[in-house]
Amino acid sequence: MSDLSDLYQEVILDHNRRPRNWGALTDATRKAEGYNPLCGDRLTLHVKIEADRIVAVSFEGSGCAISKASASLMTDAVKGRTLEEALDLFGRVHDMLTTPIDQPVDEGRVGKLAVLAGVREFPTRVKCASLAWHTLKSAITNPAETAKTE
């Protein structure tokens, strides 16, 4: 567990400092807003979907290091995946984040996203880590959120 904790710290700091897929996406086909009132994290997710596949994804917003790092990891993880695969990954990450801290996480199910399991040591921050994933789910499953691009 301590190895995962160290890696968790390292990955969160790195992604917070240099967030991947940061910024707007001018040709996005979906846009969703995420807000975590407990911490004040705000997130705007831009997704470009072509033939049921996420071909591009980016995010902007302001929030704590965990929310930013989680969004950075999430965008990296779902880019190129089909919507079904992305929703499946959402479920796996959600399961992981809600697994009690005294139970092991099955790293095989989530790959490098297993580092996010470290957030379970700080229960009030779990919502920071899950914000990006809930925002992704809403972008995929709620077509009403479709962004209009001219």
Site for Zn ion in 62-91 (CB under 5 A): 64, 67
- DSSP code, position 106: -
Residue 126 identity (one-letter amino acid): V
Q: Which two tokens stand for residue 99?
A: 């697994």
**Which range of residues in 61-69, 86-94, 115-123, 136-144 is near Zn ion by CB under 5 A?**
61-69
Binding-residue total with Zn ion (CB under 5 A): 5
Q: Which two tokens stand for residue 73?
A: 């990891």
CA dist 106 and 120 (Å) reads: 14
By beta-carbon proximity to Zn ion, the closer residue of 64 and 136 is 64
**Which range of residues in 14-22, 68-76, 100-108, 123-131 is near Zn ion by CB under 5 A?**
123-131
By beta-carbon proximity to Zn ion, the closer residue of 67 and 75 is 67
Phi, psi of 11 (to 5 degrees): -70, -40
By beta-carbon proximity to Zn ion, the closer residue of 30 and 127 is 127
CB of 128 to Zn ion, least distance (A): 3
- Which of 77, 128, 139, 140 forms a contact with Zn ion (CB under 5 A)? 128
* Residue 113 near residue 77 (C-beta atoms within 8 A): yes
Q: At what angle do helices 65-78 and 126-141 cross, to 10 degrees?
A: 40
Residue reference for tokens 């796996």: 92
- DSSP code, position 134: H
- Which of 28, 41, 93, 117 forms a contact with Zn ion (CB under 5 A)? 41
- Which of 7, 16, 35, 39 forms a contact with Zn ion (CB under 5 A)? 39
CA dist 116 and 119 (Å) reads: 6
119 touching Zn ion, by CB under 5 A: no
By beta-carbon proximity to Zn ion, the closer residue of 93 and 128 is 128
Binding residues for Zn ion, rule: CB under 5 A, are 39, 41, 64, 67, 128
